[in-house]
Structure 1
Amino acid sequence: MTTPAKRSFAAKEEIESLKIVLLINNDAQARKIFLEKSLEKIEAGLVNINKSLKRKIVNHYKKWRWAPYTYRWPAYDLSYYLEIWSGIIRQKIDAGKELKRLLAEPEEIKNKKQAIVKKLKISSFDNHLFNIAADIIYLKSFRKDCWFHGCFAAENLYKEIGRRLGLSLNQVWMMGFWEIAPALRKKEFDPEVINQRIKFSVLYQKGEKGYIYSGQKAKNFLSKLILEKEKIIKVNELSGTGAYAGKIKGKVKIINLPEEMVKIEKGDIMVSHTTFPSLVPAMKKAAAIITDDGGITCHAAIVARELKTPCIVGTKIATKVLRDGDLVEVDADKGVVKKLNK
C-alpha cells in the first residue's frame, strides 16, 4: 500500500533506454554496428549511424550520465550506454516486452492497491494515509536524486575554481564554501592544509559558520561527540533477480569505485551498489557478482552474461548487510545469497 506508483528517475531512464534499443533494432545499419562485441568498434561505427538516431543516443547519455554520481563522481561515460544497448541486442533480450512491462507498472500498482482497499474494506481516511506514506517514500528518493544531480551539475564550477587556483578537483572539494571567494580574490589558501583534510577531516557547521578540522584536531573533536553507531542489519539470506545462472561460494569484496578494485582476487564474490565499465576488470576476476540495483537489462546483468559469471541483481541491501571477507553462497538459479560462517 505504500509502494509509490510514480516513476523514479531510474525507471524513466530505463524506459527511454529501451526505446533507443528498439530504434537501433529497427535500423539495419545501426543494428549491425551494435552486434559488435568490441566497444571500440561500436564507438567508431557511430559515425555511420543516421544523424537522428545518433543524436538520440548522445542526448540520452548527456541527459542521464549523472545517475551514479551521488556526491562526487564517477558519472557514466558514453561507453556505459553503448555496452548496455549492445548487450541487450546481442543477447536477444526482448526490449519491447520489457518496455511494455515498465510502462504498465504504475497502473498495475494502482490496481493492486484498489483491490486491497476493496478486499480489506479500508476506509477512505486510512487509504489517504497510505497514499501520503507512498508520496513520502517517493519524495525521499526524488530528493536524493535532485541533490545528486546538483552535485554533478556543480562539478564544472569546481573544476574551473581548481583551474584558477592550481588545485585538483578533489582538493577543491575539501574547501569550505566560505574559503572559495578569498582564495579566488586574494589567493588566501594553503594547499598543504587542504591535503591534510583529504587524509582525515571533519566539517562542523554551526549556524552559518563552518569549521574544518583535520588530523589530530579532527580526532580530538570526534572523541568528544556521542555518535550514533550505524546499526548493521543481521541478515543471513537476501534475494534478487538471477541475471546469469550458477551456484558458487566465495569471500565478499565490496567494490563501488575503480580504486577499490585492488581488493578483489580471482574467485572472490564482487558486491556493488551498481556497476559501470571502469569496474569491468574486477568483474572479470569475480566468481560471482551481486548488486543492490538493477534488473535484467542493467550493466551488471549484461556483463555477467558476457562473462558467463553467476550474477544476482536488485538485492537492494547487499552492500549494507555484507562486508569484506564474509563467506557467502550465491545461488543465481534461485536469485538467493546465503551468508555462511567465516
Structure 2
Amino acid sequence: MVLLFGWKSQREKFNFTVMSWHHINTRRISLQMCLFWNDGFNKKHRATYGIGVSNFLNFFNGRKTEYHVDAGEWEDYRRGQNALLDRRVFVRTLPWEAQEYLEQQLGRRQASFPQDLSALSDGELLALQRRTAEEVAWTNSRTWMIYLINDLIAERVREHLRGRVSDRAKADEYLLNFSTPLEPNDAMKERMALLDARQYEHIPMFGFDHTPYVLSDFVRMLEEISGGEGELRQLTETMANRKVLFERHLEELGLAETDELFDLIRLLKHTVFVRDYRDTLRQKMYLLDRYMYEEMGRRLGNLTAEEATNLTSEEIADGLNGGDRAKFRLLAEERKKGFLVIERSGHLEVFSGDEAHSAARRELALPGTASDRVIRGVGASRGRAAGPARLIETNQELGKIRSGDVMITHVTRQDFVPAMRRCVAIVTDEGGITNHAAIIAREFGLPCVVGAKGALAEFKDGEEVEVDADAGTVERRH
C-alpha cells in the first residue's frame, strides 16, 4: 500500500512502564471489531497517512465498549493530523480519496463474497475470515481519519472566519452552515423512502454482531409517521435550502477558489458528508460479515454470530483447524460478562469475565466522577428545551425513548434517528459541531449540546433536565 499522506513523528520511543490511557469513544463493539479497529488505526493507518497509534485498551463491561489509546501517542497523533492539514494536497484530496477507496472496497467485497457459505470447507471459511480481517482493517484506516479530523478542520475554519467577520455570532452561523453536508445521508433517505424499506436493513450494522432491521422495525417507524406528505416536502425543501444558504454564505465572504479558507470550507463540507457516508458503506460490508460469523458460530459449537465475534482470530483458527470446540461455549458466556483487550507494541493480552473487570480497574484507575449540577458542552443546534432525561449507553436501549424525552448518550448514529425524532433535545458527551447528533439536530430543529463530558454520569434516567443549547449547558430542572 502506497503512503498517501506521510508525516514523520518526532517521538522516537515511548516509555511503556507507566501508561496513561486516552479515551476515544464509547460504543457497543465486539472483540473481533476491537482487533480490526486497532489494526486499522496502527499499521494500515501509518501506511496510508504516516501517522497512527500502536497501544490500545478496549474494555467491554457487559453493556458497552470503552475504546482507549496511549495518551502520549494520542498527542503525537493530533500533532500529525495538524501537520497534514498544513499540506494543500491533503486538504484538497482527503475525503474524496477516502470515499473512492471505501466505495471500491465495498464493491470488491460484494463481488467476491461467497454465495453459499455452508458449502465452504473449514479451511476455506478460515481463509475468508482472515481476508475479512485484512479488508475491514484497511477500511478502518480511512474511517479513523475521517472520524477524528473533523473537529480540527472546523477549528481552523472558525479561526479564519473570526479573522474575516467582526460579528462573532455571524461567524459562528457560517461555521454551522459549513459543518452541515449538502447531500442527504442514509437516515434521511430512509425516511424519504420507507416504502422501499429493505434496502436500508443495514443501518444498525455498526459491528458484525449487530442485528439488521427486520420488517417489524419499518412497520413501527411507518406507524409513527403523521402528516407524511408535509414532512417529505419539508425534507426536500431542507436539502434545497441548505445548498442555497451555502452558496450565499460563500458569496458574502467573497472567497476566491485560490483562498486557503475556500479549500478548508470545501474540505470540511465533504469530510462531514463522508464521515456519515462511511457508515453507510461499512454497514453494508458488516451485513455480509455477519453471515460469515453466523456460519462460523454454527461450526464452533452452535454459537450465535454475536458470540462468534467475541472470539479472537487465533481462537477461531484453532476451532476451524480441528481444535477442541467444546471450550467456546464457556468462553462465549465469559465474554458476555466482559472482555479486556490490551495491545502494547504488538503484544496482545485478552482477559475475560470477572478477570477483565479486575484488570480494567487496575489499568484505568479511574477516579470517581464529581457531581456538578451544571454540565457544560458546545451548543451545536440552537434552542432550549426541557424533559425527562433518557440515558442511552448503546443502541440496544433506544426503546426507552418516549415522546418529549431528552436523549443523553455518548454519540448518535444513523440507527438512532427514529428515536431522535421523538426527543425535544439531544445531549452527547462526545464530539463537536460536526458529529452526527449535531447535524441531525440541526435538520430537525432540536436543541443539541455536544461534548458535554460527564452528562451520562451526572444525571439519572427519568429526572427532569433542561438543555440550553445557546449557552451549551445541561442541568437539573427545579
Shorter-chain TM range is: 0.5 to 0.7
The equivalent of 1:70 in structure 2 is 206
Distance 2:250 2:229 in 1: 34
Cα gap change, 1:78 to 1:116, in 2 (>3 Å): farther
Per the normalisation by structure 1, the TM-score is 0.58
2:245 equivalent among 96, 108, 111: 108
Unaligned 5+ runs, structure 1: 22-56, 261-274, 305-309
Q: Does 1:14 align with 2:188?
A: yes
Give the number of equivalent residue pairs: 267
Distance 1:247 1:216 in 2: 39
- Residues 83 and 299 of structure 1 are in contact (CA less than 8 Å); yes or no, is this contact kept in structure 2? no
The equivalent of 1:323 in structure 2 is 456
Aligned partner of 2:291: which letter? Answer: N
The equivalent of 1:200 in structure 2 is 338
- Residues 65 and 77 of structure 1 are in contact (CA less than 8 Å); yes or no, is this contact kept in structure 2? yes
- Residues 377 and 450 of structure 2 are in contact (CA less than 8 Å); yes or no, is this contact kept in structure 1? no
Q: Does 1:186 align with 2:322?
A: yes
Give the CA deviation at 1:318. Answer: 8.5
The equivalent of 2:121 in structure 1 is none
Q: Does 1:158 align with 2:293?
A: yes
Cα gap change, 1:316 to 1:338, in 2 (>3 Å): closer
Distance 2:309 2:334 in 1: 13
Give the CA deviation at 1:125. Answer: 2.8
Distance 1:236 1:6 in 2: 22
Distance 2:227 2:420 in 1: 13
1:170 equivalent among 306, 318, 326: 306
SS of 1:73 mapped into structure 2: coil
Give the CA deviation at 1:73. Answer: 2.1
Q: Once the two structures are aligned, what percentage of the paired residues are identical?
A: 11
SS of 1:167 mapped into structure 2: coil
SS of 2:340 mapped into structure 1: strand
The equivalent of 1:235 in structure 2 is 376
Cα gap change, 1:130 to 1:228, in 2 (>3 Å): farther
Distance 2:466 2:330 in 1: 46
Aligned partner of 2:376: which letter? Answer: V
2:425 equivalent among 290, 312, 319: 312
Superposed CA deviations along residues 141-200 of structure 1, whole A, max 9, x for unmatched, are: 444554444333311111111112211233212101222132123143412233222222
The equivalent of 2:234 in structure 1 is 97
Give the CA deviation at 1:201. Answer: 1.8
Aligned partner of 1:169: which letter? Answer: A
Give the CA deviation at 1:93. Answer: 3.2
Superposed CA deviations along residues 218-240 of structure 1, whole A, max 9, x for unmatched, are: 456546646899x9994279675
Cα gap change, 1:83 to 1:108, in 2 (>3 Å): farther
Cα gap change, 1:217 to 1:207, in 2 (>3 Å): same
SS of 1:161 mapped into structure 2: helix
Aligned partner of 1:323: which letter? Answer: L
Aligned partner of 1:68: which letter? Answer: P
Cα gap change, 1:16 to 1:138, in 2 (>3 Å): closer
Superposed CA deviations along residues 52-73 of structure 1, whole A, max 9, x for unmatched, are: xxxxx34xx3322222332342
Give the CA deviation at 1:294. Answer: 9.3
Cα gap change, 1:146 to 1:196, in 2 (>3 Å): same
The equivalent of 2:418 in structure 1 is 299
Distance 2:284 2:252 in 1: 37
* Structure 2 counterparts to residues 29-108 of structure 1, below 5 A: 57-58=195-196, 61-71=197-207, 72-90=209-227, 93-108=230-245
Distance 1:208 1:145 in 2: 31
Q: Which has the higher contact order (CA 8 A, sep 6+)?
A: 2
- Residues 329 and 340 of structure 1 are in contact (CA less than 8 Å); yes or no, is this contact kept in structure 2? yes
Cα gap change, 1:156 to 1:237, in 2 (>3 Å): same
RMSD: 4.6
Give the CA deviation at 1:130. Answer: 3.6
Cα gap change, 1:287 to 1:129, in 2 (>3 Å): closer
Give the CA deviation at 1:107. Answer: 4.8
Distance 1:5 1:99 in 2: 15
Superposed CA deviations along residues 80-113 of structure 1, whole A, max 9, x for unmatched, are: 3334344434466341232132244245324323
Aligned partner of 2:337: which letter? Answer: K
Per the normalisation by structure 2, the TM-score is 0.44
SS of 2:230 mapped into structure 1: coil
- Residues 340 and 352 of structure 2 are in contact (CA less than 8 Å); yes or no, is this contact kept in structure 1? yes
Distance 1:226 1:176 in 2: 22
Superposed CA deviations along residues 302-324 of structure 1, whole A, max 9, x for unmatched, are: 6x4xxxxx733522638865326
The equivalent of 2:133 in structure 1 is none
SS of 1:162 mapped into structure 2: helix
The equivalent of 2:259 in structure 1 is 124
Aligned partner of 1:322: which letter? Answer: A
Superposed CA deviations along residues 17-48 of structure 1, whole A, max 9, x for unmatched, are: 42x47xxxxxxxxxxxxxxxxxxxxxxxxxxx
Aligned partner of 2:204: which letter? Answer: P
Distance 2:377 2:181 in 1: 32
